[in-house]
Amino acid sequence: MTNSSQPVHPSDFIPESWVMETMIIGNGGLVIRHEFDEPSELAIPALTHHLIGVNIGQHSTRQVTRLGKQEYDGINPTGSLWLATADNTPGEWAWDTTDETIMFQIDPLYFQEIAAENGCANSERLELKPVVFDRNPQFESIARNYHAEMQQQGLGGKLYSESLGNLFMLNLLRTYCQERPQPQQVNGGLGEKRLKLVL
């Protein structure tokens, strides 16, 4: 349990013994870990990075998650997820069985960079919303694909992992922003009809 009032890095409160494999994308902007999280209770004042946990275990367990004023106390079925944001939101978790999890750690600056690269207006102001419980087939699929890649490390693994990372980040932008991202308005340049003619 962490008692500091300062935001903490995820690696400071997740025991190394829980981590089976790790993948690093975008120079550390996105870190994916395969974990076996032993029964425990964790409490943090705030996080330095966004953190998403996706349960890939084969059985439902009880999960208690508190993020700010939100709380979930119930089963933690395969494919369920929570999202803790990098802000001043305190978080608490408790569970009584060993959970197999794919954990996604996102640097907030990397999140803004990806948003800008994909044409989001005001990318530096985009904020994610805390989620104590959700079921999302896209995120479950990406988590399972990362898990499989960590096990087999097939041909073109780096490219494949980076492609999955881009897919993950785009789904994050589309699904869990406080406000729907808006495309940047482009002034000048060729109109659509002229561009088609040139092409």
Structure confidence at residue 185 (pLDDT): 58
pLDDT computed for residue 54 by the predictor:
98
- Convert 172-193 to b/e letters by CB count within 10 Å (16 or more is b): bbeebbeeebeeeeeeeeeeee
pLDDT at position 168: 97
Residue 57's identity, in one-letter code, is: G
Q: Which two tokens stand for residue 46?
A: 């705030």
How much is the pLDDT for 122? 81
Does the structural domain 10-198 have CATH classification 2.40.10.120? no
E strands of the chain, at which residues? 19-25, 30-37, 40-44, 50-55, 61-67, 70-76, 80-84, 91-95, 99-106, 131-135
Question: Both tokens of residue 58?
Answer: 């084969």
Give the span between the Cα atoms of 173 and 57, in whole angstroms.
Answer: 26
Contacts of 180 (CB under 8 A, 6+ apart): none
pLDDT of 61 reads 83
Rounded to two decimals, the pTM is: 0.88
Nearest to 100 by CA among 33, 3, 159: 33
- Whether the CB-CB separation of 130 and 89 falls below 8 Å is answered with yes
- CA 92/CA 66 separation, integer angstroms: 5
Residue spans of the chain under pLDDT 70? 1-4, 181-199
Domain ranges of the chain: 10-198
